[in-house]
Structure 1
């Protein structure tokens, strides 16, 4: 059976879904998105994703599309129609269709597109094995805190990692790690402190990041929010990433340097357990 998607007020088979070639998301990357994880048919951290979505729209002076008041119901209906038990729901809002112009259209009609993604989240093979990452220069624009569809450089970064025989890349700016291509980055010092870059325009304000740091502090783990270098990362006891679809996933190799015994460390494993347990309890 064909996947059912949502396009501007309609639930449609994916092969029948259409968007104008003049849509500014297509022409200008003038759009924002969110991905909400699904566990046991329920939405994880939905309120956090909605809050960040509204922040992104405000930052780009983009009006809300029709259907915003019913977003939770649309998410749930997509999950139901596609019988999705584990995976995610992708949501994208663009400024809509208009003649090609760098100036925003005066009376835009924003587009809202949503679809489901079937993925293995809890028993991820990569989480069991751990990730190998490389470092690359961060060449993105300056407002990384807005979750836009401008993902060309992160895509290039993932291809660089693949070509190097790695799983992903951490981006470096002015000597310090900003974040991964699609995730927030962390190290655990030899003293046991979790270190991750503080919130600013330089990184995405991860929804999973916020939850994981809260759980870490509740578990009496030491957390320090500051920039760290690749040399610090290579000398760390362990490292990990967080995102909506990876949860907490250990990093076992950085630029060819093996961390610890080459397996996900105890801090990342414990945080992954806590996050999944709490996510299942709080999912809507």
Structure 2
């Protein structure tokens, strides 16, 4: 190749500011729409920026955000989880049963700790069951998670005979109604979980494996990615996060309601994940945690 040929070769196009903005809107349209709605509310809604309004908003979105984090991982892996609401009900039912039992009453602090750990673990095991059906038996995620969508809440209803479980436990209720530095405890929990998951996605090999499996599972397996382990871990984490959200919801209400806890949460979580920037087709994470 001579110098004249090199001189005639086209120069790479430098993206303009307009092109960059258009690309951002295309890739994160739902997120930009959310910010637009936020600005509109600030401008036209009275008292929107008041501390009390912010406090109410934080308490209303914390549980949705927690479940949406897990749903984001599941969708990025190329799946979906319809059971998160039922797992919230299950965890919210198990915890009071333990700290209201004879063991919990006799050992208040230990009983509360065991109640929270067992309740969240139960939701995590249920999530692991979802992942097992999907990864081992290749059942479609929407079908596999539909099993616990129905039976998970059913188990919670059987455990409580379908009745409301009320309690008076200030230590447990603090999880849902307490404040630290004026900020709701559940908001702190949400922040810690979001930052922890984001760090794991960006700093560990799991994040890259997750995107590889979500993008093209067969190609990922040929490249040596342990797709089965990735899916098992993903659905287990989603279950654990749903369990945490169920604990918070129960603590807020000072009652365990197997019939209502987590109702339609799967739809809220999927919507929140999409607004955050995940693709329903899988293989992409929100822009804040992309590599």
Q: Which TM-score band (shorter chain)?
A: under 0.3
Q: Which structure: greater strand fraction?
A: 1
Normalized against structure 2, the TM-score is what? 0.23
Higher relative contact order (CA 8 A, sep 6+): 2
TM value normalised by structure 1: 0.23
Q: Decide which structure has greater helix share.
A: 2
